[in-house]
Amino acid sequence: MAKLLGLTAGLVLLVAATIPALAHHSFAAEFDSTKPVTLTGVVTKVEWMNPHTHFYIDVKDENGKVTNWDLETGSPNGLSRQGWTRNSLKVGDTITVNAFRAKDGASLASARQVTLADGRRVFAGSADDAGPGSENYRPGKQ
Amino acid sequence: MRKLVNSIAVMALALTILATVTAQPPRRPGGWEPGGPTPRLADGKVDFGGKGVWAPIWVLDWADKKYVTEPIDVPFTPAGLTLYRERRANDSKDDPEGFCLPAGVPRYTGTPYPFQLIQLPDRVVILYEGASHMYRVILMGARHSADPDPSWLGESVGWWEGNDTLVVDTVGFNGRTWLDYVGHPSSEKLHVIEKYRRPDLNTLLYETTIEDPVYYTKPWTTSFKVRFRPGWEIKEYVCLENNKDLVHLGTAAPK
C-alpha cells in the first residue's frame, strides 16, 4: 500500500511538472505545481469573466471551520469553446475540484478538473493544454 | 502472482490519473486534416478568410522545437541574454500580458486566442481576440512613415510575393512587448517581417523574422502552423474586466 501511495504521489508530481503556464499570465509565478489539492465544497459565487473565470466554494475542514476558496480556471472564451457554459456551475452546487495551490498561501488555487454536481468531470484548464486551437483539444470529452 | 496483479493495478491507476487529472503538455502544431484546397480570391491571391477563425496554440517559446518548425539558436547580444535569463529566473512574473497589456507583434500569432484576417483592396485588417480585442491595419503597397510614433503593434505595410505569400513589414514599436511567454526581448529598434501562407484550407503557415540589434546580433527566423477552426467566431475579450492575478504574481510593474 505504501508503494502504491508512493507511486501515485510520484505520478501526481510528474503530471504537475507538465503544466507550464496559464494563457494570460505565468502559472509558475502564481501557482505551485508541487502542491496539488483536492477540494470539495459548495459553490458560493461564479465570475464568468475574462481573463479567467473564477468560482468560489465553501470548504469545511475536519474541525467544522469553513474556508471560502477562490478557484481560477481558463478564460470564459476558451471554456465555452470546450463545451462549458456560464451555467455549468451554479451557486449551491456541491462540487469537487482538483487544483494547484497559490504560492503566496492565499485560499486560491488553479482548478484543473471539476466534478460537477451531476457527477460529470470536466476539464477546467486553460487553452495551452486543452483549449481552442491546441493539439490536444478534444470536443465532446467534457 | 499477487505482486504482479498489484503492479498491474498500480499501473492502471497511474494511467487513469495520468489520463484524467490533467492534460498533456502542449505539442508542436500540425497534423490536422487539410480540409480542402487553398481558397483564392478572384485575382488568384490566397484568401486568408472564410467562415471561421485562425486558432493558435500557445507558442510559449518561439525558439523551442516543441512549438516551432525548427529549433532556433537565438543569437542574443549580451544585453539580450541578460534580460532573457532574468525573465526565466523569475518565472515570467513581469510579463506585460499579465497586466492585460497588448501581446504585440508578432506575439499575437502565438497566443491562444483566435484571430481573423479581413482582406480589402488597399489593406489587410487583422482582428485579434486576445488581450484585448485588438485590431491591426496592414496598408498594402504603402511605405513606412519617416518616423512613426512608437506603439505596441508598430506600423505595418504589406505586399504579395506571387499569389501565395502575404508579406508584412512592421517597424515603429515601443519596445515594451515580449516576443513570447518565455521572455525573448524586444526594443524600439525591433523590425518584424512576417510571411503568411495558406497551403491548404485548414493551415496557416506563419513565418516571422526578428531583427533587433539591441538584443540580437543578427536576424532570426522562426515558423509554425496555425489551425483554421470553421464555424468559430471571435468573442469579446476584455482582459481588465476581472484581472485578479497581479496581487498573487509578486510583480509591481511590467518589465
B218/A contact by beta carbon, under 8 A: no
CATH number at residue A118: 2.40.50.140
Does residue A138 belong to any structural domain of this protein?
no
Does residue B196 belong to any structural domain of this protein?
yes
Does residue B118 belong to any structural domain of this protein?
yes
Does residue A137 belong to any structural domain of this protein?
no
- Over residues A88-119, the pLDDT tens digits come to 999 999 999 999 899 999 999 989 889 988 88
Does residue A68 belong to any structural domain of this protein?
yes
C-alpha distances out from residue B68 to A132, A133, B179, Å:
18, 15, 14
For the ranges A16-30, A96-110, A126-140, the lowest mean pLDDT is seen at A126-140
- Over residues B70-122, the pLDDT tens digits come to 999 999 999 999 999 999 999 899 999 999 999 999 999 999 899 999 999 99
Find the domain containing B73 and state its range: 32-240
CA distance A128 to chain B (A): 5
pTM: 0.83
The closest of B238, B237, B193 to B212, measured between CA atoms, is B193
Domain count, chain B: 1
Cα B241 to Cα B255: distance, rounded to the nearest angstrom:
22
Asked if B136 and B128 count as a contact pair (C-beta separation under 8 A), the reply is yes
The closest of A52, A46, A44, A48 to A23, measured between CA atoms, is A52
Asked if A20 and A130 count as a contact pair (C-beta separation under 8 A), the reply is no
pLDDT in the model for residue A30: 87
Does residue A56 belong to any structural domain of this protein?
yes
Does residue B37 belong to any structural domain of this protein?
yes
CA distance A93 to chain B (A): 21
Joined grid coordinates for residue B102? 497588448
Does residue A139 belong to any structural domain of this protein?
no
pLDDT in the model for residue B28: 60
Contact map slice: A 44-63 vs B, CB within 8 A: 47, 49-52, 54
Decide if B31 and A121 are in contact by the 8 Å CB cutoff. no
Does residue B6 belong to any structural domain of this protein?
no
Asked if B216 and B80 count as a contact pair (C-beta separation under 8 A), the reply is yes
Mean pLDDT for B174-193 is 97
Asked if B242 and A51 count as a contact pair (C-beta separation under 8 A), the reply is yes
Mean pLDDT for B132-137 is 93
Find the domain containing A102 and state its range: 2-130
Domain count, chain A: 1
Does residue B234 belong to any structural domain of this protein?
yes
Decide if A72 and B27 are in contact by the 8 Å CB cutoff. no
Decide if B112 and A108 are in contact by the 8 Å CB cutoff. no
